[in-house]
Chains A and B, each alone.
Chain A
Amino acid sequence: MATFFGEVLSEFSRAVDDDEEDQEENEEDEQIRRELEEKREVHLHWSSEVTELLQSGNKLQCSDFILAVGHNAARFLSVYALASSNWEAVGHASLWNERSRAVTGPTSEESACVFHRHKETPSVLICQVICYVAEDQLFQWTEKVFDCLQHRELNVTVLSDGSVADYKTANYPCTSSAPFLRSLHTDAFRGQPVSPSLEQPNIITGLPAAVLNHCQVHGIATVVYQCYSDVIGPDSVSMETYKPALTKLRKSIQLDSSRSTDVLRKFVKTTDIQSNLYI
């Protein structure tokens, strides 16, 4: 639905649309449908080295895959991990949907979903996703990415931004409690998550859910840390909330925990004026 200010919000309704009558699809309809499906396909673009590896029938060696979904999670990783020179970009994913902004050059598309690999420990992979992945693209994104990774002894950590408005609790969450972390993990996950488990009746959706579904079904050790924040848009306090999640990761990643909050604040852009009538 469109709001008064022209934002497009996805509204979920329990009322369901009827299944469409099985209409006779003529060739033109089918072609249009196929073209639309192709336009919405998720494409992975790897570096030449990785492409060669995958084309020869091998998979990317991966022991730790860290996925950041959302601006706060992505910025947090940019500051605490990727700021050092030990990482190289090895690929990106591109996709188009109704929320994709008009791409003015290849850089906007490339930066929306990037894969980085640690130079010294190439089995450690980071991916930052700041674009919107539509409901019909989530499964595809997950399958295509995990198809490139070897699954044995793979550990997946997902950092995901969320809104405290979506968090249900009997005691209404007071503003001082946000931002906070809640975790969900697959059966294959061993060890202790660094935050309390997501309580009933809360659920998560989107890319973190798609990853959890895939990993649960395929027996991959995975933990998702959802950060519930009361601020719309990136903010340094929410970014810092992710710190405990990374302490569990291998020391070889050499996270720079000496980074101060000031550095995080530098990454925070002012929110778009058109979406905030009241400054």
Chain B
Amino acid sequence: MFIPVENSLCSFKGFTLVMPAVAVGNVGQLAVDLIVSTLNMKRVGYVHTDCLIPMAGNNPYTICRDDAEELHTPAEVYTAPELKLAVLQIRAPIIQTKFKKFRQLIVSWIKSSGFSRTVILSSSHAYQRDDQQLKGMPLRYLVTPSLLKVSEDALKSLGWREMERVPAFPGMTDTNAEPRLCIPGGGFTKGLYSDSCSEDLPLAVLLLFCSEGDNIPDAFTLVNHLNDWLHLLDSPSQEANKWKIPPSWSLLFGSGIPPALF
């Protein structure tokens, strides 16, 4: 499933993997676009699978005419070796009947590549927050026991809130049902997190409550929070304009207005 680009020697041992979930507002994917674009990351391979809807386009991170005509596929891996960072970008929805298979592929790829930790950037429907979740920052995190061992202090000092468990049957007090994890609109986030717990993988989820719309500010918020933890950019997160918007973000809401309309 992972096919390296020709002539690229890539070992991911000890790298941090950042990947998005295809979730509400595409916030994770937008955030990953910012990372790849800003850090000028190099493509090192493709994730070629029947689990994603096919799409193709020219280089979304093009900076000059020379690299504009470079074909890009629905799932690709980029690296910044100096930061020991690898990024998987997913550009297409997962086929409805293939969620489980895709999660299995990702988990086995993570294991075989030897990533030291994985961070999933995700989002969840803001309108389904409960009373607790309506208060405070819309950022939540989750971490597998395996990663908690090494990152507990760092996460504590960041002051983030862990994703709350919600009652299985809201409003019904007379049940013995345990509160459970629920990430509405999060795509495969919950599934992949649960799989990683079972497989003892060091994995964290960083998600933002948001709604569909112009999700660019949400992407910036999420990537800045990630930067607070991983320090991908030298400058502090207050300088939000340090993230470079890729050319593929133009015309997100359609073409220019037809003059004949007026």
Contacts and interface: CB of A to CB of B under 8 A. Distances in A.
A205 B70 CA distance: 17
Interface stretch (A112-120, A135-143, A235-243): A135-143
Interface string B123-151: 00000000000000000000000000000
A200 B250 contact: yes
Interface in A174-195: 184-187
B93 A212 contact: no
Nearest to A165: B255
Nearest to A143: B50
Contacts of A205: 53-55
B70 A187 contact: yes
Contact of B254 (A37, A140, A168): A168
B202 interface: no
B57 A19 contact: no
Interface stretch (A96-104, A147-155, A213-221, A262-270): A213-221
Given A200-B60, A205-B54, A217-B48, A19 B70 contact: no
Q: Select the residue from B3, B53, B190 with max chain A CB neighbours within 10 A.
A: B53
B53 A217 contact: no
Contacts of B31: none
Interface in B4-58: 6, 22-26, 46, 48-50, 53-58
Contact of A138 (B54, B69, B183, B188): B54
A22 B25 CA distance: 24
Contacts of A210: 54
B68 A197 contact: yes
B55 A203 contact: yes
B56 A22 contact: no
A15 B73 contact: no
A214 B254 CA distance: 29
A18 interface: yes
Contacts of A139: 49-50, 54
B43 to A, nearest CB: 11
Interface stretch (B81-89, B95-103, B236-244): B95-103
Given A16-B185, A213-B73, A22 B191 contact: yes
- Chain B, interface residues (CB within 8 Å), range: 35 or more
- Chain A, interface residues (CB within 8 Å), range: 35 or more
Contacts of B97: 33, 37, 136
Contacts of A204: 55-57
B257 interface: yes
A132 to B, nearest CB: 14
Contact of B251 (A14, A33, A170): A170
A169 B69 contact: no
A274 interface: no
A173 interface: yes
Contact of A198 (B23, B50, B57, B257): B57
A172 interface: yes
Contacts of B6: 219
Interface string B188-231: 11110000000000000000000010000000000000000000
B245 to A, nearest CB: 12
Nearest to A12: B93
Contacts of A201: 57, 60, 247-252
Contact of A185 (B48, B69, B247, B249): B69
Contacts of A168: 251, 254-255
A167 B68 CA distance: 18
B247 A135 contact: no
A202 to B, nearest CB: 7
7 contacts: A139-B50, A169-B256, A200-B62, A201-B247, A210-B54, A213-B74, A216-B73
Interface of B: 3, 6, 22-26, 46, 48-50, 53-58, 60, 62, 68-71, 73-74, 93, 95-100, 183-191, 212, 247-252, 254-259
Given A136-B96, A199-B58, A210-B54, 7 more contacts: A15-B185, A19-B186, A33-B97, A172-B259, A204-B55, A213-B73, A217-B48
